[in-house]
Amino acid sequence: MFYVYVLHPLRDAGFYIGYSTDLRRRLGEHEQGASQAVSYRGPWNLIYYEAYIEEADAVGRERYLKSGGGGKSLRSQLHNYFAKHPVEPRETKPRLCGKAFYARFNASTLKRVNALAAASLLLTSCANQHFRVPAEGPPSDAPRYVELLSETQVATLHFPPGPYSFYGVDDMGYYYRAPRKILQHTGGGSVPCNGGIFVSKRDPRKLRGYVYLVGALTHVGDLSRTRHEFRD
């Protein structure tokens, strides 16, 4: 049998939709964080599944549920679940980069870090104001993952290798969340930051980094020449 299943992560308002020949084993892998691209979103609730004899039918159903229409249909079908478990939009207001670092160092160090962040804002372009996080996942014309095949550096920011998972979209492009924190190396140590990769809608060959700095989502650098792969 081929199972199409829907998981609801307790940490945000999205879905995870997949299929497997062994649903029990696959759920165990999710709970153990075996899927690096989505391990940070657990723990999970299994809220729906279907069983198919033909693999092609399961794959087609999975693809439909991942589409915009499929996501809306799923919410309508599971309206009783969501009535009991209302979901809030995933947090889009960024946390300050290096919050623990700020608490650890003295006022003069904080002043230098804030000055560096402010300069970054002046030197880079900010995200479009129509940024949103679709609960149904990526649109049909966007891949689910962008995988960096090697670590890359933009100024003092170090972007880790690995699969970056779809996170959000604005008028200009798509946002993919890093598999681990992006590290900003400073004279006082390493500051962990939230961020990832931005892919242009107009030209998907153009990749940029993005990080949350001083309460703003900020584009940084040019990652287009970094070895990477798009995959679903």
**One domain, residues 217 and 111:** yes
Please check whether residues 205 and 105 belong to one and the same domain. yes
Q: Is 132 helix (H, G, I), strand (E, B) or coil?
A: strand
Q: Model's pTM, two decimal places?
A: 0.48
89-112 pLDDT per residue, tens = 444 444 445 544 444 444 445 455
Same domain, residue pair 225 and 135: yes
Among 84, 119, 142, where does a domain finish?
84
Domain check: are 21 and 132 in the same one? no
Pairwise pLDDT comparison (189 vs 90), residue with the higher score: 189
pLDDT digit string (tens) for 49-58?
999 998 889 8
Asked whether residue 122 falls in the same domain as residue 189, the answer is yes
Asked if 220 and 184 sit in the same domain, the reply is yes
Residue 119 lies in a domain: yes
Last residue of a domain, one of 31, 60, 84: 84
Give the C-alpha separation, 71 to 27, whole Å: 21
Residue 93 lies in a domain: no
140 and 216 in a single domain? The answer is: yes
Give the residue-averaged pLDDT of 52-74. Answer: 85
Q: What is the pLDDT of residue 89?
A: 44
Specify whether 144 is located in the same domain as 34. Answer: no
Q: Whole domain around residue 126: which residue ranges?
A: 99-231
Claim to verify: residue 133 and residue 71 sit in the same structural domain: no
Ranges assigned E (strand) in the chain: 2-9, 16-20, 44-52, 145-148, 152-154, 157-159, 162-169, 173-177, 182-186, 189-193, 195-200, 207-213, 216-220, 228-231
Phi, psi of 85 (to 5 degrees): -125, 70
Cβ neighbors of 229 (< 8 A, separation 6 or more) are 146, 147, 149
Do 227 and 137 belong to one domain?
yes
Residue 115: inside a domain, yes or no? yes
Model pLDDT, residue 118: 47
- 106 and 183 part of one domain: yes
